[in-house]
């Protein structure tokens, strides 16, 4: 340090909070994280949360059973609004998943150390969100038991899927995304499963974790190939995650419906997906670190960085909204101009104004460090953004369909009890899976935390 | 005497406190002429692959092959379905409307590459392998995936001799040295 530099503890240099609090060793990080799974008894809060979410999953089963018995007529959809809650929820859920892949793949490639303690549960979040998302296109087909028609299989009818259709692209994009996310997650888990196998004290746990760990023993030769495979997977997952929401946006933009037929959709959908996903990661991380005393591992640095990513992607989304508006006006196309007016003055304008409030105005508070480091405030904001992103999909799907080209084809849409029950049910399923996840698998990557300890202790030596 | 029991012995293993000690030990062991050695660490240690002289692994090549199979196979299959097996005129577009086949081709490229990367890595590593002689060593089973670093000289090495190799491990700073039995 040269003489002119201010001392490190001076107020001129705002010191970053560390990505892991000092004083941890390989053994303490292992103990602390694996104890949540292996030794800590289920708390009353966990049991209450699990019971509640399990009850909501039962509501989902009832809603799905009733749907299969009666058909999609129990929903609020009609002609012309054939896409209601089902597609809104599908796009919302799949978008939430994207932050998990972004954190695990893109931040890995960019060598961002702060990703380490949040990537595991963010990836779990991705998987569960994809599971929830997958339910909707399936059930909205009306005859979900015929959904296998979408897949190319040698049928006696000699039929093949129509590969020019965005809906078939969607099937391939979402199923590939689900598979690759699962692989990525599992590969990351292997060393930790070995740790759990070696630390488990009861026989059933040793056997189950032992089988899942595949006999991992930490050999240098294995790590060598493992790291190559992990890096390649990260490299593959990065374009994949961008392609998935692009393909989802094609479901809309390939159609000629006003408000859908626009080239800005792919990037703006991807940014929106990351935006909502980071909001969901915060919604989960804040209670998780509190409930399991993980403040040492999920530090203020993580929360603040995620808030910054939300702010940046939120601005991209705002740019998308602005250009949707501008291009419609500028094009002079009367249907597009009319659609913009419908968003501002039509029967669903409240949704549009709520969307602007949630997605564009509220996040501007994140410019202030005081807000970014205020945990309860961040939690509330993450929920507001989740609501905002849901409203965005509602505005896109419903307003365009209710105001088609001909006034004779205009209509209204309102959701029924079963629409709400199915949506609430998937929220319950998502949360229940998360409750199970934190109890049976390490919510933070133990091997990567040890690596982080090694790096921070090296920095200390120098 | 030792040579008679050689078939039951997998090797000799020593324990180290830190990844730096392990790195130094791996280098020294290679310099001493041992080739059939393996190091064990609870996380990937930077520079260990180089210290052990591990060259190019074939995971990247397998991934490339998987990606090519997925991509070419995917496009070929779409072409066969929509052009040869079941041609259907959609809005007067050409049967081989290849731009519309790209999204699925891309997804299948990524899928093929990812499946080959993961299962190729596992296959090259010989996993799943539920049992390994090293798990017989109590301290290894307890600490190898938590907080200790191990170096094993395997009996397959032409320089291996139980007593000599154990002494060698001790000389480079290992502790809790123990033989690894096969049975």
Q: What is the pLDDT of residues A205-248, one digit of tens each?
A: 889 998 998 989 888 889 999 989 999 999 999 999 999 999 99
Full residue range of the structural domain in which residue A374 is found: 26-141+160-452
Measured between CA atoms, how close is B163 to chain A, in angstroms?
24
pLDDT at A263: 87
Residue B105: how many CB atoms within 10 A of its CB? Answer: 21
Q: Report the pLDDT averaged over residues B52-63.
A: 86
Q: Is A9 domain-assigned?
A: no
Structure tokens at A277: 């996903």
Mean per-residue pLDDT, A399-422:
91
3-state secondary structure at position B40? strand
Residue-wise pLDDT for A431-462, tens only, equals 999 999 988 888 888 888 888 888 776 654 44
Could you give the number of structural domains in chain B?
2
> How far apart (Å, rounded) are the C-alpha atoms in residues A361 and A29?
40
pLDDT score recorded for residue B141:
83
Average pLDDT over residues A127-146: 90
Nearest to A454 by CA among B23, B138, B159, B150: B23
Q: Mean pLDDT throughout A284-292?
A: 87
Residue bearing tokens 């291996």: B160
Q: What is the mean pLDDT of residues B160-169?
A: 81
Chain B residue numbers touching A215 (CB-CB < 8 A): 127-132
The answer to whether residues A318 and A272 touch, using CB atoms and an 8 Å cutoff, is: no
Confidence grade of residue B171 (pLDDT, cut at 50, 70, 90):
confident
Between chains, do A218 and B41 touch, taking CB under 8 Å as contact? yes
Among residues of chain A, what percentage have pLDDT more than 70?
Answer: 95
* pLDDT for A84 beyond 60: yes
What is the distance between the alpha carbons of residues B175 and A261, in angstroms, rounded to a whole number? 69
CB contact under 8 A, B103 and A194: no
Q: Which of the two residues, A419 and A29, has the higher pLDDT score?
A: A419
Task: Name the pTM for this structure.
Answer: 0.88
Q: What are phi and psi of B10, to 5 degrees?
A: -85, -35
B15-46 confidence digits (pLDDT tens): 888 888 888 888 888 888 888 888 898 888 88
pLDDT at A9 over 70: no
Most confidently modeled of A117-126, A213-222, A311-320, B168-177? A311-320
B178 three-class SS:
strand
Beta carbons of B83 and B96 less than 8 angstroms apart? yes
Q: Is B91 left (phi over 0), alpha (psi -120 to 50) or beta?
A: left
Within 414-453 of A, beta carbons closer than 8 Å to B belong to: 447-448, 450-451
pLDDT for residue A15 = 52
Interface list for A 123-162 with B (CB within 8 A): 152, 158-162
Flag whether A297 is in a domain.
yes
CA A316 to CA A268: how far, in whole Å?
7
Q: Identify the closest residue of chain A to B118 by CA–CA distance.
A: A229
ipTM for this model: 0.90
What are the chain A neighbours of B85 within 8 Å (beta carbons)? 158, 160
Q: Is residue A457 part of a domain?
A: no
Give me the pLDDT at residue B34, please: 83
Termini Cα distance of chain A: 14
As a whole number of angstroms, the distance between CA A446 and CA A431 comes to: 23
Res B180 pLDDT > 60: yes
Task: Answer with the one of B77, B102, B124 that is the final residue of a domain.
Answer: B124
> What value does the mean pLDDT take over residues A378-396?
93
Q: What is the DSSP secondary structure assignment for residue A159, as one 8-state letter?
A: -
Q: Residue A458's pLDDT is what?
A: 62
* A203-206: long-range pairs with CB below 8 Å, 24+: A205/A38
Helix residue spans in B57-174 (DSSP H): 59-79, 98-124, 138-143, 162-171
Q: What is the pLDDT of residue B60?
A: 92
Residue A1 clears pLDDT 80, i.e. is over it:
no
Q: What is the pLDDT of residues A147-175, one digit of tens each?
A: 888 888 888 888 888 898 898 999 999 99
φ and ψ of B11, to 5 deg:
165, -160
Q: What is the pLDDT of residue A294?
A: 80
Rounded to whole angstroms, the maximal C-alpha distance in chain A is 82
Task: Give me the CATH number covering residue A116.
Answer: 1.20.1630.10
Identity of the residue in B100, B115, B147 whose CB atom sits nearest the CB atom of A26? B147
Residue A17 has what pLDDT?
67
A346, A278 contact by CB (below 8 A): no
pLDDT > 50? residue A13: no
Q: Tell me the two tokens of residue A382.
A: 């993450």
More confident residue, A386 or B171: A386
For an interface test with B, the pick among A181, A191, A211, A232 (most B C-beta atoms closer than 10 Å) comes out as: A232
Q: How far apart are CA A67 and CA A63, in angstroms?
A: 6
Q: What is the mean pLDDT of residues B62-77?
A: 95
pLDDT of amino acid A297: 81
Instruction: Quick: pLDDT tens for A315-347.
Output: 999 999 999 889 888 988 888 898 888 889 989
**Are B33 and B85 in a shared domain?**
no
Which string of b and e fits B15-24 if b means at least 16 CB within 10 Å? bbeebebbbe
Is A217's CB within 8 Å of B145's CB?
yes
Residues of A in contact with B38 (CB under 8 A): 219-221
With CA atoms as reference, report the closest residue to B110 among A191, A101, A349: A101
CB neighbours of A182 closer than 8 A, spacing ≥ 6? A127
Average pLDDT, chain A: 87
d(CA A137, CA A133): 8
Residues of B in contact with A237 (CB under 8 A): 110, 114
pLDDT at A92: 94
Inform me whether the pLDDT recorded for A123 exceeds 50: yes
Say if A222 is an interface residue toward chain B (CB within 8 Å).
yes
Which residues of chain A lie closer than 8 angstroms to B30, CB-CB?
Answer: none
Name the H helices within A332-403. 334-345, 349-356, 369-372, 375-394, 400-402
* C-alpha distances in Å from residue A437, one per residue of A45, A54, A309, A343, B120: 15, 14, 25, 41, 27
Instruction: Please tell me the predicted confidence (pLDDT) of residue A10.
Output: 41
| Contact assignment for A197 to B145 by CB distance below 8 Å | yes
Residue-level pLDDT at A250: 92
pLDDT score of A459: 55
Closest CB to B48: pick one of A27, A169, A220: A220
pLDDT of residue B138: 83
Kindly report the nearest CA distance between residue A250 and chain B, in angstroms: 10
Model confidence band, residue A7 (pLDDT cutoffs 50, 70, 90): very low
Between β-strands B37-40 and B9-16, what pairing exists: parallel, antiparallel or unpaired? unpaired
Task: Report the run of H or E that residue A64 belongs to, with start and end.
Answer: helix A44-70
Residues of A in contact with B89 (CB under 8 A): none
Whether the per-residue pLDDT at A2 is higher than 60: the answer is no
How confident is the model at residue B1, as a pLDDT? Answer: 42
**Among residues A105, A146, A149, which one has the least CA distance to residue A123?**
A105
Contacts of A9 (CB under 8 A, 6+ apart): A15
Largest CA distance in chain B: 85
Alpha-carbon distances, residue B46 vs A274, B21, B49 (angstroms) = 31, 13, 8
8 A C-beta contact, residue A416 and residue A76: yes
B180, B12 Cβ separation under 8 angstroms: yes
Residue matched to tokens 């935006």: A275
Question: Both B32 and B83 in a single domain?
Answer: no
Q: How many domains does chain A have?
A: 1
Q: Which residue has the higher pLDDT, A114 or A144?
A: A144
pLDDT value of residue A232: 93
Roughly how many angstroms between the first and final C-alpha of chain B, as a whole number?
Answer: 18
Q: Mean of the per-residue pLDDT values for chain B?
A: 86
Domain containing B108 equals 62-124
Residues B89 and B49 placed together within one structural domain of the fold: no
**B7: confidence class by pLDDT, cuts 50, 70, 90:** low
- Measured in degrees and rounded to the nearest 5, phi and psi for residue A161 equal -60, 155
CB A126 within 8 A of CB A97: yes
């Amino acid at each position: 340090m040269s003489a002119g530099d201010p001392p490190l503890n001076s107020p001129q240099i705002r010191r970053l909070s560390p990505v892991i609090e000092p004083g941890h060793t390989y053994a303490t990080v292992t103990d602390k994280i694996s104890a949540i799974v292996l030794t800590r008894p289920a708390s009353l809060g966990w049991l209450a949360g699990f019971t509640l979410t399990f009850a909501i999953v039962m509501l989902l089963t009832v809603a799905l059973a009733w749907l299969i018995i009666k058909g999609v007529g129990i929903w609020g959809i009609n002609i012309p609004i054939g896409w209601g809650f089902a597609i809104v929820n599908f796009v919302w859920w799949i978008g939430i998943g994207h932050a998990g892949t972004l954190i695990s793949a893109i931040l890995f490639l960019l060598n961002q150390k702060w990703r380490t303690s949040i990537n595991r549960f963010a990836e779990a979040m991705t998987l569960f969100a994809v599971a929830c998302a997958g339910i909707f296109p399936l059930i909205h087909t009306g005859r979900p038991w015929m959904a296998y028609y979408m897949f190319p299989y040698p049928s006696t009818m000699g039929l093949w899927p129509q590969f020019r259709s965005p809906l078939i692209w969607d099937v391939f994009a979402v199923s590939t995304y689900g598979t690759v996310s699962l692989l990525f997650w599992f590969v990351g888990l292997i060393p930790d499963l070995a740790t759990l196998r070696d630390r488990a004290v009861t026989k059933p746990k040793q056997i189950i974790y032992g089988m899942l760990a595949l006999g991992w023993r930490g050999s240098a030769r294995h790590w060598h190939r493992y790291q190559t495979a992990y890096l390649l997977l990260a490299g593959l997952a990065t374009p994949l995650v961008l392609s998935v929401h692009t393909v989802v946006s094609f479901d809309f933009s390939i159609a000629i419906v006003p408000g859908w037929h626009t080239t800005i959709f792919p990037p703006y959908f991807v940014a929106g997906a990351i935006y909502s996903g980071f909001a969901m990661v915060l919604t989960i991380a804040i209670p998780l670190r509190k409930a399991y005393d993980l403040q040492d591992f999920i530090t203020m640095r993580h929360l603040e960085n995620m808030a910054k990513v939300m702010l940046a992607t939120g601005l991209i989304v705002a740019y998308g909204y602005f250009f949707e508006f501008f291009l419609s006006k500028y094009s002079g196309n009367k249907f597009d101009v009319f659609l913009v007016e419908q968003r501002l003055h039509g029967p669903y304008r409240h949704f549009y104004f709520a969307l602007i409030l949630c997605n564009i105005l509220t996040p501007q508070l994140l410019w202030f460090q005081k807000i970014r480091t205020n945990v309860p405030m961040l939690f509330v904001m993450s929920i507001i953004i989740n609501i905002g992103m849901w409203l965005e999909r509602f505005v896109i799907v419903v307003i365009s369909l209710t105001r088609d080209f001909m006034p004779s084809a205009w209509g209204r849409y309102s959701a029924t009890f079963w629409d709400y029950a199915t949506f609430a049910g998937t929220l319950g399923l998502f949360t229940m899976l998360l409750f199970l996840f934190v109890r049976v698998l390490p919510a933070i990557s133990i091997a990567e935390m040890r690596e982080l300890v090694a790096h921070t202790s090296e920095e200390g030596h120098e | 005497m030792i040579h008679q029991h050689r078939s039951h012995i997998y090797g000799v293993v020593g324990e180290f406190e830190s990844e730096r000690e392990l790195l130094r030990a791996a280098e020294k062991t290679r310099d001493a002429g041992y080739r059939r050695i393996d190091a064990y660490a609870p996380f990937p240690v930077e520079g260990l692959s180089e210290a052990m002289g591990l060259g190019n692994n074939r995971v990247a090549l397998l991934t490339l092959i998987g990606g090519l199979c997925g991509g070419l196979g995917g496009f070929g299959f779409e072409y066969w379905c929509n052009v040869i097996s079941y041609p259907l005129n959609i809005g007067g577009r050409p049967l081989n409307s290849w731009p519309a086949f790209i999204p699925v081709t891309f997804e299948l490229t990524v899928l093929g590459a990812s499946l080959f990367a993961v299962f190729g890595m596992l296959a090259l590593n010989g996993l799943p392998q539920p049992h390994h002689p090293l798990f017989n060593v109590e301290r290894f089973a307890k600490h190898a995936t938590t907080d200790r670093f191990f170096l094993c000289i395997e009996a397959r090495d032409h320089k291996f001799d139980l007593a000599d190799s154990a002494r060698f491990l001790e000389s480079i700073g290992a502790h809790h040295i123990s033989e690894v039995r096969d049975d």
